[in-house]
Amino acid sequence: MDFVSIEQHGFIGNLGSCALVRTDGTIDWCCLPRLDSPSVFASMLDAERGGFFSIHPAGATTTRQEYVDLTAILRTTFTTETGVVELTDWMHMGGFSSEEEEHHTFPALYRFVRCTKGTVEMTVCFNPRLNYGRDATALEAAPDGSIVVAGASDQLRLHTSLPLAPSPQGMTGHARLRSGQSLTFICTYGSVERSDVPPAMRSYERTCEYWQRWIATGRDRCCHLLPAWQQIVDRSCVTLKILAGGKGIAAAATTSLPEIIGGSHNWDYRFNWIRDTSFTVQALCSIGHFFDAREFLDWLTELLLTGGRRPADLQVLYPLHAASLMPEQELSHLRGCADSRPVRIGNAASTQRQADIYGEVLRTVFLAEELQPKVDQSLSGVLRDIVEYVCEIWKEPDHGIWEMRTPPRQYTYSKVMCWVAIDHGIRLAETHGWQVDLDHWRQERDAVRTTVLEQGWNPRLDAFTQSFGSDELDATALLFPLLGFLPPDDPKALSTLDVLLRELSDGPFVYRSSAHRREEGAFGLCSFWMVEALLAAGRSDQAREHFEELIRSANHLGLFAEEIDPKSKSFLGNFPQAFTHVGLINSAVALSRAFATA
């Protein structure tokens, strides 16, 4: 099985797990029962050892892949010389209201095949490899006709009426379908009897209803989005919703998809970063999904309040479901996506200090007060402690937003976010009457600002740089006026914008930094930051041109990975990436507001 590029995949899921479906009908990435569980299909990372589940017609075909209306139900249509067949894939969602929670996120993968014209010969290959292919995986037929899959600690069951026989690649079956005939495959986690599995058509209807009603709730509250961008924004919202299957939101659905083909920058993103959750709260608020934003804010509040946690104890990232993080490991038995090694599970960034997270926390609480109108005494105490802590440590180096695996440095963006933390703390204290030393906070806020302007500014480059005293440019400087650190018309902000347009941009595609431009693709979130920065600088037509070219670079389903190659438009990095879809939503909302009032 050859490597299929990242962008040639669709994405399905519920609020528990998810899967990637190739345009040829192969599921080559799926973890059950949760998004962050060990994989059951991972041929995306190793064609021989990873496992897959393929359903496809024999002979030459043309394919079309699209979502069913405003849902996470994916339909792949194959047209052959003899007929047409539809493959519909989804993960079960229960009822939308609280009274209909039965099997709300039932860990089941549904695949429904229906011939709509002529006659089509179909081939099915069910080849799971449990625990990232590390466990011996036994497949055998059960008395009820299902296929039982057993490993050291996991079990799956495939329910289908199609007879499957052992083959070198798991279990294989063939069927000739005539117009109107269909096949159903339901892959469940655990020892689930067929009688406990929601029937396919009932599951389809309930799942379809859930997603359509969920999208409608956001649309009802967000009336300012330009119609031309509604569909791709809806798709970004559904993508974020699927990734929100645990505590906070997963940064992405996958691990170890390479930022550099053949390279070693392959990371596990199936964790909840405080930064990602903060950005997501802000994006969902802007688009009308207040209930979901509130859920994230509640998680963040609980995190801050539980266990007497000190600011110094806050981690960069947290597990989605587990009580604690596992150490980062390398899976040396896997070949890696496009021969990019190593494959990693776990993420060592959890041990880093990234000082910007304190600014993200304060900014999120401040901007989301419409969801939580009163910051209660317990939470206000934690926020006060964070501001006091930032006042103490802002001069210290850290690892920065890009999680460099190098010694800590004085990253300019980290300092600006320390300023944001103190500034928003001051504003919250003034609003809620906190008993704090505001004079001290104001002095520290001013000291941070003065230090950034003196040491983060490079007069030779006429721009802010990545760290104090360096010549390295960094796209995070686009955010300084958006965060209120500088006015949008400040000469330093405008000059930095022009320099970054010239040095870090390839058309609308923006690299993270000068070093990243030499090594990897353009970063999706940074590209959307440029849109907002141009808009803030009053260059609205240029901002709109950038945005529209960026959304044209989405894949055939409106999905984005972490990065994109500006020349080939190939995707790089983990997929789909929450950051990129957050950036798309924020840019679409900002542009819509600007052009609605123009």
**pLDDT per position as a tens digit, 220-249:** 776 678 999 999 999 999 999 999 876 789
pTM, to two decimals: 0.95
Count of C-beta atoms within a 10 Å radius of residue 86: 16
Residue 475 phi, psi dihedral angles, 5° rounding: -65, -20
In 10 A of CB 226, how many CB atoms?
Answer: 15
- CA dihedral of 376, 379, 381, 383, whole degrees rounded to 10: -130
pLDDT digits (tens, 9 = 90+) for 472-514: 999 999 999 999 999 999 999 999 999 999 999 999 999 999 9
Mean pLDDT value across residues 365-371: 76
pLDDT in tens, 59-81: 878 999 999 999 999 999 999 99
pLDDT of 225: 87
Task: Name the residue type at position 346.
Answer: G
Residue 292 has a pLDDT of 84
pLDDT at 100: 45
- Specify the pLDDT at position 247: 77
pLDDT on residue 321? 87
Cα–Cα distances in angstroms (integers) from residue 403 to residues 406, 520, 582, in the given order: 9, 15, 19
Q: How far apart are CA 58 and CA 120, in angstroms?
A: 8
Return d(Cα 583, Cα 531) in angstroms, integer: 9
Instruction: Give the Cα separation of 258 and 14 in Å (integer).
Output: 25
Give the tens place of pLDDT for each residue, 147-165: 999 999 899 999 999 999 9
Residue 9's nearest CA partner among 17, 25, 18 is 25
pLDDT of 404-417, one tens digit each?
999 999 999 999 99
pLDDT of residue 373: 57
Looking at residues 297-317, what average pLDDT do you find?
82
HEC secondary structure over 555-585: CCCCCCCCEECCCCCCEECCCCEHHHHHHHH
The rounded percent of the chain whose pLDDT value lies above 90 is 77
Bond before 199 cis per omega within 30 degrees: no
pLDDT of the residue at 566: 96
Q: In the chain, what are the domains?
A: 6-212 (2.70.98.50)
Query: What is the distance between the terminal CA atoms of the chain, rounded to a whole angstrom?
Result: 52
Q: Is the backbone peptide bond immediately before 576 cis, with ω within 30 degrees of 0?
A: yes
**Which tens digit of pLDDT belongs to each residue from 160-195?**
999 999 998 899 999 999 999 999 999 999 887 777
Handedness of CA 426, 350, 574, 247 (dihedral sign): negative
* Whole-number Å distance between alpha carbons of 285 and 308: 29
Instruction: Give the lowest-confidence range in 4-18, 288-302, 395-409.
Output: 288-302
Distance CA 14, CA 206 (A): 12
Q: What's the pLDDT at 322? A: 83
- pLDDT attached to residue 307: 56
DSSP characters over 372-435: SSS--HHHHHHHHHHHHHHHHHTTS-B-TTTT-SSS-B-BHHHHHHHHHHHHHHHHHHHHHT--
Asked if 250 contacts 271 with a C-beta cutoff of 8 angstroms, the reply is: yes
User: Is residue 95 scored above 70 in pLDDT?
Assistant: no
CA dist 395 and 188 (Å) reads 52
**Mean pLDDT (whole number) for 292-312:** 79
Q: Which residues pair with 11 in a beta bridge?
A: 20
Distance of CA 401 to the CA centre of its chain: 16
Q: Tokens in use for 477?
A: 């400087």
Q: What is the mean pLDDT of residues 532-548?
A: 98
Write the single-letter amino acid at 11: F
| Bridge-based pairing state of the strands 165-167 and 170-178 | antiparallel
Q: State residue 200's pLDDT score.
A: 94
Q: What is the pLDDT of residues 126-147, one digit of tens each?
A: 999 999 999 999 999 888 888 9
Which of 558, 463, 536, 544 lies closest to 508, judged by CA? 544
User: What whole-number distance in Å separates Cα of residue 253 and Cα of residue 31?
Assistant: 9
Residues forming beta bridges with residue 10, ordered by sequence position: 21
Amino acid at 28: D
What pLDDT shows up at residue 300?
Answer: 80
Which residues lie closer than 8 Å to 256 by C-beta, 6 or more apart?
Answer: 45, 266, 267, 268, 336, 337, 340, 342, 343, 344, 574
> In this predicted structure, what is the pLDDT of residue 26?
97
Predicted local distance difference test score (pLDDT) of residue 206: 92
474 beta partners: 513
Q: Which pLDDT value is given to residue 302?
A: 83
* pLDDT (0 to 100) of residue 55: 97
Which burial class, exposed, middle or buried, applies to 355 when counting CB atoms under 10 A from its CB (0-12, 13-18, 19+)? Answer: buried
pLDDT tops 90 at residue 304: no
> How many residues belong to the chain?
598
Cβ count within 10 A of residue 145: 14
| pLDDT per position as a tens digit, 568-594 | 999 999 999 999 999 999 999 999 999
**Type and span of the H or E element at 497:** helix 491-503
**Each residue's pLDDT tens digit, 433-468:** 999 999 999 999 999 999 999 999 999 999 999 999
Question: Strands 155-160, 108-127: parallel, antiparallel or unpaired by DSSP?
Answer: unpaired
User: Does 98 score more than 50 pLDDT?
Assistant: no
3-state secondary structure of 547: helix
Q: Is 160 helix (H, G, I), strand (E, B) or coil?
A: strand
